[in-house]
Amino acid sequence: MKKFLFLCTITAGILLNQGILFAAINWEDPNLQNTTIKIVHITQLRTEINAKLAQCGLPLVTGESLQTGVTNVRAIHVQQLRDALKSIAAKAPWRAAPTFSDQDPIVAGVTPIRSVHITELRTATENATCCGDGVCNGPESKISGNCIADCP
Please count the residues of the chain.
Answer: 152
Report pLDDT digits (tens) over 111-134: 888 899 999 999 999 888 876 554
H/E run at residue 24: strand 20-24
Residue 34's Cβ-count burial label (10 Å; 0-12, 13-18, 19+) is: exposed
Q: Is 14 helix (H, G, I), strand (E, B) or coil?
A: strand
- Say what the pTM is: 0.71
Could you tell me which residue, 94 or 16, shows the higher pLDDT? 94
Predicted confidence at residue 71, as pLDDT, reads 85
Report pLDDT digits (tens) over 8-55: 333 333 333 333 344 567 887 777 776 788 899 999 999 999 999 998
Residue % of the chain over a pLDDT of 70: 68
